Every structure is written in structure tokens, then in C-alpha cells.
Amino acid sequence: MKITAVKPFIASTGNFFVKVETDEGIYGIGEGGLRRRGRAMAEVIHSSEPTLLGQDPFRIEYLWQRMFRGGFFPGGVIQSAAVSAVDIALWDLKGKALGVPVYELLGGRTRDKVVCYPHNGDPNNIESLVQSCRDTYEAGWKFVRWGVCDPEGDDRFEPTRAVRFGIEQVKAVREALGDDIEILVDVHTRLDPPASIEFCKGVEPYRPFFIEDPLRSENPASLKLVRQNTSVPLAVGEQFDSKWSFREAIEEDLMDYCRVDLCIAGGLTEARKITGWCETHYIHIVPHNPLGPVSTAACLHLCLASALVGVQELPRPPMTSLTDVFPVQMPFADGYLLPPEGPGLGLEFNEEALINATPPDPGPPAGYQRDDGAYTNW
């Protein structure tokens, strides 16, 4: 079997997909992160075609190394996201060719289902947030999640206000829903160490399951200061683009939960290495999954085959988005993703729905402003 085509697609939603075709008619589908950078990822795919065409698609590790190292200079997060899409497609293709689900290729199931968390709405209003969390709980979910925000408005983020408001949010949700619900709060890299420490210490009495990305990702060493000053579990890693990016956070025990993004960090090939490394430090994986059905499927297969899994992100339950492109998606019930029945990832793909898709205009950079007009993380 030989690879005959590698096709990138940008959906009207901004989701980026790659289809790898072969001379035997078997294909695989993958997804890349960075929805605002679809055209850049597509160019990386086109430049990688000489590396991939004519190759044996079963040689996944070999092809990963060729794509990742082939330009000599490190390609950064855009290259890693494009490589991720191809890599996931190769695992899907191999599973289909062998007639088994991808999780069987990863060592087989370690669990029967994977617990998930949604995204809860309207965090700027505590009453509305509590109601959203209550609705989630009554629908069968075991987790609730929202992001730290500034109550002054959607385009503002002043850390002092956000920290005070964030503590009030966690307190209100815990008191309203009791001890049976797990609370996740995403700082989204918006705070510096002193503000992050204040927030983490403030929510300690309400026992959040974890606080996500308490600091910017460029300098993982800064997490040491936060670790020394709070007992709240920390989740880190959604912006890391390879196992090397994760090295310090794992080896220095700077996180409790690993937010590996399969569509950014190098696909299933790289994610399973990161996952095994985390196991040696008792770090559970919590895959970052804000994207589409392929990302959801790839994360599910990794979780099904991994020893230490905390929870999987699932802001859009299966069959609620891109159903024209993926008419068959992952099974889901009562807050859990279930093992798919088909081979590979278990998805069905309708290429025709993407051929004439118009990619969205990415618009201006996403971000917030401080009260003095300074630009800060989104």
C-alpha cells in the first residue's frame, strides 16, 4: 500500500482536516489545531507532499520523524499542528486497513467509557452561570467548567477584578450544587504568578478538580512559584507543541493533569509518548479538545487505551456539529464518550461537504484589554 494523495480541507467553521489516500482505496482522516491558521497549515501540508507521496502509510513513526525533522529548522506550532493532522489520519487509515479500532493499535481498552466535561455558558453573570451548571448536572454530566473572566465586559480583563469575581463564581457553584459535581476553572493563561496564587488560594476551600493554565505557557518554570503556594491541582499543556515542550512541567512535577492537545502536539504518535511519560509521574491526562469530531475521536481512543485519565474536554457533544461532513460520530451518553464500533477512528467522512466550503475570515487577533488600554491574553 502506498500514499497517493494528502488533501487539506478548511471547513466553513474554520476546522482544519486532512485526508490521506492510498492506492488501495483506503483513506484516513485527521484534524489540526489552530482554527485561525488553516491556510498556513494547508501550506505546510502541500510542502510535505514530497515527503509522504509513495510512502508506506503503516510506517507512522518514520513518517512523523520525516515531517517533523524534514525542514531542519524547527517549524513551531503551525508545523506541529499540520503534522498532527497527518499523523491522526495515518492511525485512522491503519486501523481501517487492519479492521480494528485505533485503541486496539494503542494497546487495547483500559476502560469501558471516558467521562467528559462541557463548557458552561455566561460566566459574566453568576446567577446565569449557576443555572448553566445546574442544567449540566441534571443532564447527567459529572463536571462543570468555565473560564475566568472580568465582570466589567467581554473585551476587558483586569486581573484584580477577575480574581475576586472568579472566587465568587466557584463559591456560588459549589454551594448551589453541593459536593457531587466536579468544578474546573480555566484561567486561560490570563494571570501572572501573584494573581494566580491569590485565585488558587481563594478557591481552595471549594475543592476544584483542577485550575487550568494558571500562567502563560512560554515559561513553565514560573509554575514552581504557584505550586509552592497552593494545594489546588493544576492542569497545564494545551499550548505545548511537542514532548519537548512538556519536559519541564513533567520532570519537575509542575502539573497534576496534562492538557495534551493531539491536534497541536504531534498527533497520536507524540501524545502516547507524552502520556506514558506522565504516567511515571502520576500525572493524569485531560486531552484539550476544543475542535471538531476528528479531534474528539482521536482523544477518545487515546483515553480508552491510557492508564491515567482524568476527564476529556467535550464542548460540543457528538452529532451537534459538522454532521454533514461527519454523518457518523462517536457514541455518547450521560456525560460519557463510549467506544466506537467501526475500525480506525470510527467516523464516516463526506468529502463532498468540504470541497466547496468557504473558510471564515479569521478577523482581528483575539485578545483582551486592560483598563489602561494594554493588550493581554485572550
User: Residue 307 is part of a domain; what is its CATH number?
Assistant: 3.20.20.120
Task: Evaluate whether residue 374 is within a structural domain.
Answer: no
**Which pLDDT score, from 0 to 100, does residue 263 have?**
98
Q: What range does the domain containing 268 cover?
A: 104-342
Task: Evaluate whether residue 378 is within a structural domain.
Answer: no
301-305-306 Cα angle (round to 5): 115
My answer on whether 203 and 303 are in the same domain is yes
The C-alpha cell of 25 is what? 482505496
Task: Evaluate whether residue 361 is within a structural domain.
Answer: no
Which amino acid appears at position 224 of this protein? Answer: K
My answer on whether 144 and 230 are in the same domain is yes
Task: Evaluate whether residue 370 is within a structural domain.
Answer: no
Domain boundary among 75, 100, 125: 100
**What is the pTM for the complete model shown?**
0.96
State how far the Cα of 83 lies from the Cα of 76, in Å rounded to an integer. Answer: 11
Of 376, 357, 373, 368, the C-alpha closest to 13 is 357
My answer on whether 269 and 157 are in the same domain is yes
My answer on whether 126 and 19 are in the same domain is no
378 residues of the chain, pLDDT tens digit each: 999 999 999 999 999 999 999 999 999 999 999 888 889 999 999 999 999 999 999 999 999 999 988 877 778 899 999 999 999 999 999 999 999 999 999 999 999 999 999 999 888 999 999 999 999 999 999 999 999 999 987 788 999 999 999 999 999 999 999 999 999 999 999 999 999 999 999 999 999 999 999 998 889 999 999 999 999 999 999 999 999 999 999 999 999 999 999 999 999 999 999 999 999 999 999 999 999 999 999 999 999 999 999 999 999 999 999 999 999 999 999 999 999 999 999 999 999 999 888 888 877 777 898 989 898 888
My answer on whether 225 and 248 are in the same domain is yes
Q: Which of 46, 188, 281, 284 is catalytic?
A: 188
The C-alpha cell of 312 is what? 476529556
My answer on whether 229 and 298 are in the same domain is yes
My answer on whether 69 and 162 are in the same domain is no
**Which pLDDT score, from 0 to 100, does residue 197 have?**
97
Does residue 82 contact residue 44 with C-beta atoms inside 8 Å? yes
My answer on whether 53 and 128 are in the same domain is no
My answer on whether 67 and 184 are in the same domain is no
Beta pairing, strands 16-22 & 27-32: antiparallel
Half-sphere exposure of 56 (CA within 13 A, CB side): 4
Domain boundary among 100, 124, 159: 100
Q: Which of 46, 281, 284, 288 is catalytic?
A: 288
**Which pLDDT score, from 0 to 100, does residue 361 have?**
81
Number of domains in the chain: 2
Domain boundary among 84, 100, 116: 100
Give the domain CATH number at 69: 3.30.390.10
Helix (H, G, I), strand (E, B) or coil at 64: helix
My answer on whether 143 and 13 are in the same domain is no
**Which pLDDT score, from 0 to 100, does residue 46 have?**
94
Task: Evaluate whether residue 364 is within a structural domain.
Answer: no
Helix (H, G, I), strand (E, B) or coil at 90: helix
CB atoms within 10 A of CB 352: 9
Does residue 143 contact residue 120 with C-beta atoms inside 8 Å? no
My answer on whether 158 and 302 are in the same domain is yes
Percentages helix, strand, coil for the chain, rounded to the nearest 5? 40, 15, 45
Tell me if residue 288 is catalytic: yes
Does residue 313 contact residue 285 with C-beta atoms inside 8 Å? no
**Which pLDDT score, from 0 to 100, does residue 72 have?**
78
Task: Evaluate whether residue 93 is within a structural domain.
Answer: yes
Tell me if residue 281 is catalytic: no
My answer on whether 40 and 170 are in the same domain is no
